[in-house]
Amino acid sequence: MGSSTYAAEGSYACVGAPANEPNGGLYPEPRQFVDSQSWWKPIAGQTGTDHGHTHVGACIPEGQTMTDSFVVNIRMVLHDVGDIKVYSGTTSVPYTSVVLKDSNIEQTQTKLYETGWTCTGTCERWRSVTINPTPYTTDGLKEVRFRFFFDVLDGTAVARMTASANWQFTLDRPSVSTVSSFTRNAYTRGKGWYSKPGSLSTGGYCEADFTSVPLPDSPISGIWTPTVKMVWHGGTEDPTVTSHEVRLDPDFHATPINEGIIIRQANGEFNGSISIDTRTLTNGTHKLFLRSICNDKYNRG
């Protein structure tokens, strides 16, 4: 478990932070806990192996202005992941890469290796990482990507699934005067990636995005109408989105499963606003859950 002493007097409480967040959910600027998941589960009418799902998440300073390095505690979760491909050594999957991205660079800053991690049921690990903005040559809006790589045995073939979270912050360093902001899909994106059989480096994304920016830092009331996107993003290897759903407060780890409140559920893609009447909810923190369901291009269910 990673830990940090980053919290300071007068810190902000991270919205939605898990109770065991290593920093106690306290940070010097507003943050929200954002979690991206990769699911490999046959749906009704399909055959195939159920490989469960994986998570990567953290309290992120989405949309905040940062002037120097900052700490992020990353949570990795495995849930009913089927036949795990276990590797020996110390530098193989599963691991989480921390990637810095803007118009000039896409650079892996850190790889957090969890080689040899096996799991039955639900397993969780936390790791602490310092985001060092030095590779960014300019200030302005910048992107960070967390990618959690995990391998399973699908029949006799090794297959890889990756849970990815993309998010942005504004960089404003006193020593840098040039500004060049990241503009491509500059919103919070949750992506699952699934490899081609026998080729761990080839595969496609299934993606669900929260396109209203920034994420809310303070309580909301009345009718809330954020925008979301669950569509095919055009990659040759990306599977098509066959259906989508938006829920409030589901808990798929509970026994029995808590399905939450269904806000929207339909076939095909969706790109637009949703409507949530907060007056029907209890006061306090609630979880917004977006899911794209995609057809596997390789007929594995």
In a domain, 5, yes or no: no
pLDDT, position 8: 47
Q: What is the pLDDT of residues 88-110, one digit of tens each?
A: 999 999 999 999 999 989 999 99
In a domain, 226, yes or no: yes
Distance from C-alpha of 94 to C-alpha of 105, rounded to nearest angstrom = 25
In a domain, 300, yes or no: no
- Other CB atoms within 10 Å distance of the CB of residue 27: 26
Mean pLDDT of 97-126: 96
Mean pLDDT of 170-199: 95
In a domain, 83, yes or no: yes
**Based on the structure, what is the number of domains in the chain?**
1
Q: What is the pTM of this model?
A: 0.94
pLDDT, position 52: 93
Q: Pick the residue with more confidence: 45 or 124? A: 124
Q: Where in the sequence is the domain holding 262, given as residue range(s)? A: 12-294
pLDDT, position 1: 32
pLDDT at 122 over 80: yes
Residue 116 is classified by DSSP as: T
In a domain, 236, yes or no: yes
In a domain, 3, yes or no: no
Mean pLDDT computed over every residue of the chain: 93
In a domain, 94, yes or no: yes
Q: What is the pLDDT of residues 219-270, one digit of tens each?
A: 999 999 999 999 999 888 999 999 999 999 999 999 999 999 999 999 999 9
